[in-house]
């Protein structure tokens, strides 16, 4: 049976909309995104949030919502940014273009004792991102918060309808979580999103979808594919878990993955295609062409091993579904780079692709894995890119360069684990810089490669900041790399944020 969301979030295209859903789930309420024209698809929500968006409510093609239907639901409704402006206009107020776009921090001063701001400070930092302004409120509406310039940034339109001009879902709004908690206090329902109950639902769903057919699943040793494989195993499916060694893995990766799945009680088939992959990208130095060749060959190798597929299981997560949808809509699709190959498209058209994790965020996948008893070192392993070390060796990939990166990376990660920094970092690696420099080794000058160490913190990989590792730790890592990895005479530490840099080198 389908688990219906307690809170539905109407997506008007804000860059932060996904975060609203995450925050609500973190607070224990099951939430999903809906396109504005899908509002009536779920007749029994316990609350509704209207997201922000890039449009102006005055635009001819501005997204809309059925206010009469929202009133009939008789549940709390919160409009955020565009959502506030839309509610204000549809209640009879006026929204006009601002003279400048307001983007960044501001200060909220609650007033009139609204339940929405219960327990908030008298002055609280909020995050703004808008250009239009509610210049006139409808009859019966009340201002419940202003900014430092005395401009209304929060309104109460009735006992059920609220609007705020700022984004409570982002961490830059320091008490935004409390605002969402207060909204949920108005909801006539208890927190109901428990991963254990969702696990049982997923197991039943997988059994119903599979219906005794064989399921092929690609595994890499990463969080998503491991949890997916364990879910399929726990559901009692006839599982074929296939691991493709593309020759671009980290040091000792393949035997570690095999051992990992043995401990989980799952047999995996290892396909060693390393020579084919390295031949396919030999001499290629253009990043996208390199990615394309690796991706296409992976599918050729994978489906060459998985002949006569009855069902293919993919580890698509909810953010993949959201990102693949067109602006303002949620479509049951996956990322373009997953869809690129016709074989997968054909299987989808035949109804032979299942995506059991497609309702979950990464942190929820980890929680699901914990409920299955998967070891923490697997669940909190740093992300590893699909093209492997191919994107950590800019330019042409050679065996020499791969060996340098593998050895340097192994040293870096070992020191992070020994020092307790590994779990404080979202992702860390050693990559090769495509330059050679002059150095001195012993009594001779050397002309060798340079490597860059990168360690970042991030929430969703959309943005990232570099980690300030202790200088003594960096010195120790650098010394060991320079003394034990042949072909290296310089070690750099990457202090670039994303944006403008990316997390990976390519």
Count of Cβ atoms closer than 10 Å to residue 379 Cβ: 17
Count of Cβ atoms closer than 10 Å to residue 435 Cβ: 10
Active site residues: 81, 167, 169
Whether 213 and 174 map to the same domain: the answer is no
In the prediction, which pLDDT does 341 show? Answer: 61
- In this prediction, residue 326 has a pLDDT band, given cuts at 50, 70 and 90, of very low
Asked, for residue 502, whether it belongs to a domain, the answer is: no
CA distances from 157 to 74, 131, 154, 177, 458 (A): 14, 21, 10, 22, 37
CB 24 within 8 A of CB 184: yes
In the prediction, which pLDDT does 100 show? Answer: 56
In the prediction, which pLDDT does 196 show? Answer: 86
Whether 333 and 355 map to the same domain: the answer is yes
**Residue ranges making up the domain that contains 136:** 7-185
- Asked whether the predicted pLDDT for residue 378 surpasses 90, the reply is yes
Whether 357 and 438 map to the same domain: the answer is no
DSSP string, 270-329: EEE-HHHHHHHTTT---HHHHHHHHHHHHHHHHHHHS-S-SEEE----HHHHHHHSPTT-
- Of the three residues 185, 205, 232, the one that is the final residue of a domain is 185
Whether 290 and 337 map to the same domain: the answer is yes
Asked, for residue 308, whether it belongs to a domain, the answer is: yes
Whether 479 and 461 map to the same domain: the answer is yes
In the prediction, which pLDDT does 430 show? Answer: 98
Asked, for residue 23, whether it belongs to a domain, the answer is: yes
Whether 367 and 470 map to the same domain: the answer is no
CATH of the domain at 422: 3.30.300.10
CATH of the domain at 172: 3.40.50.880
DSSP string, 317-337: -HHHHHHHSPTT---S---HH
**Which is it for the CA torsion 328, 333, 336, 342, positive or negative?**
negative
Mean pLDDT of all residues in 407-418: 98
- Of the three residues 345, 379, 413, the one that is the final residue of a domain is 379
CA distances from 380 to 358, 364, 399, 412 (A): 19, 12, 29, 17
Whether 155 and 259 map to the same domain: the answer is no
Token code pair at residue 247 = 């020759």
Number of domains in the chain: 3
CB 323 within 8 A of CB 331: no
Whether 414 and 367 map to the same domain: the answer is no
| pLDDT tens digits along 251-300 | 999 999 999 999 999 999 999 999 999 999 999 999 999 999 999 999 89
Whether 156 and 199 map to the same domain: the answer is no
Asked, for residue 455, whether it belongs to a domain, the answer is: yes
- In this prediction, residue 85 has a pLDDT band, given cuts at 50, 70 and 90, of very high
User: By C-alpha distance, which of 500, 499, 403, 382 is closest to 451?
Assistant: 403
- In this prediction, residue 58 has a pLDDT band, given cuts at 50, 70 and 90, of confident
Whether 447 and 316 map to the same domain: the answer is no
Asked, for residue 392, whether it belongs to a domain, the answer is: no
Identify the helix (H) or strand (E) that includes residue 454.
Answer: strand 444-457
Whether 302 and 202 map to the same domain: the answer is yes
- Of the three residues 185, 204, 227, the one that is the final residue of a domain is 185
Asked, for residue 500, whether it belongs to a domain, the answer is: no
Whether 227 and 281 map to the same domain: the answer is yes
Asked, for residue 363, whether it belongs to a domain, the answer is: yes
CB 141 within 8 A of CB 88: yes
Q: 494: exposed, middle or buried (C-beta count within 10 Å: 0-12, 13-18, 19+)?
A: middle
> What is the C-alpha separation between 428 and 467, in angstroms, rounded?
9
Asked, for residue 391, whether it belongs to a domain, the answer is: no
């Amino acid at each position: 049976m389908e688990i219906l969301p307690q809170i539905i979030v109407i997506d008007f295209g804000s860059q932060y909309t996904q975060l609203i859903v995450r925050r609500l789930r973190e607070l224990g309420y099951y939430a999903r995104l809906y396109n504005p024209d899908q509002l009536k698809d779920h007749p029994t929500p316990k609350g509704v949030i209207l997201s922000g968006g890039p449009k102006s409510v005055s635009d001819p093609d501005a997204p809309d919502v059925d206010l009469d239907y929202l009133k009939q639901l008789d549940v709390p409704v919160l409009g955020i940014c565009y959502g506030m402006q839309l509610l204000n206009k549809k209640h009879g107020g006026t929204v006009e273009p601002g003279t400048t776009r307001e983007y960044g921090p501001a200060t909220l001063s609650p007033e009139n004792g609204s339940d929405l701001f219960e327990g908030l400070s008298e002055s609280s930092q909020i995050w703004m991102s808008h250009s239009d302004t509610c210049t006139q409120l409808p009859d019966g509406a009340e201002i419940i918060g202003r900014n430092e310039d005395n401009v209304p940034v929060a309104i109460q339109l009735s006992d059920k309808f609220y609007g705020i001009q700022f984004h409570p879902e982002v961490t830059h709004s320091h008490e935004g979580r409390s605002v969402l908690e207060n909204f949920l206090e108005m909801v006539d329902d208890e927190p109901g999103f428990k991963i254990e109950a969702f696990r049982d639902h997923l197991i039943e769903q997988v059994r119903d979808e599979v219906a005794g057919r064989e399921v092929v699943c690609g595994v890499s040793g990463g969080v998503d594919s491991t949890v997916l494989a364990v879910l399929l195993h726990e559901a009692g499916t006839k599982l074929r878990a296939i691991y493709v060694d593309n020759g671009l893995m980290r040091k000792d990766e393949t035997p570690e993955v095999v051992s990992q799945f043995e401990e989980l009680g799952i047999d995996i088939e290892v396909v060693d295609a390393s020579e084919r992959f390295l031949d396919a990208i030999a001499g290629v130095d253009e990043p996208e062409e390199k990615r394309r060749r690796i991706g296409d060959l992976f599918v050729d190798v994978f489906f060459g091993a998985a002949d006569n597929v009855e069902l293919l299981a993919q580890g698509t997560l909810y953010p993949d579904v959201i990102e693949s949808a067109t602006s303002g809509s949620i479509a049951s699709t996956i990322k373009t780079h997953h869809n690129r190959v016709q074989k997968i498209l054909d299987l989808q058209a035949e109804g032979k692709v299942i995506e059991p994790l497609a309702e979950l965020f990464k942190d929820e996948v980890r929680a699901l894995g914990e409920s299955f008893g998967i070891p923490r070192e697997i669940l909190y392993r740093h992300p590893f890119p699909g093209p492997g070390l191919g994107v950590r060796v800019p330019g042409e990939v050679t065996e020499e360069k791969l060996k340098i990166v593998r050895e340097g990376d192994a040293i870096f990660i070992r020191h992070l684990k020994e020092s307790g920094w590994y779990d404080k970092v979202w992702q860390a690696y050693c990559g090769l810089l495509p330059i050679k420099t002059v150095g001195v080794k012993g009594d001779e000058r050397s002309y060798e490669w340079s490597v860059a160490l990168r360690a970042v913190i991030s929430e969703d990989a959309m943005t990232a900041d570099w980690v300030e590792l202790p200088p003594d730790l960096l010195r120790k890592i650098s010394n060991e790399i320079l003394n034990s990895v042949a072909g290296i005479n310089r070690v750099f530490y990457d202090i670039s944020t994303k944006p403008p840099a990316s997390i990976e080198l390519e």
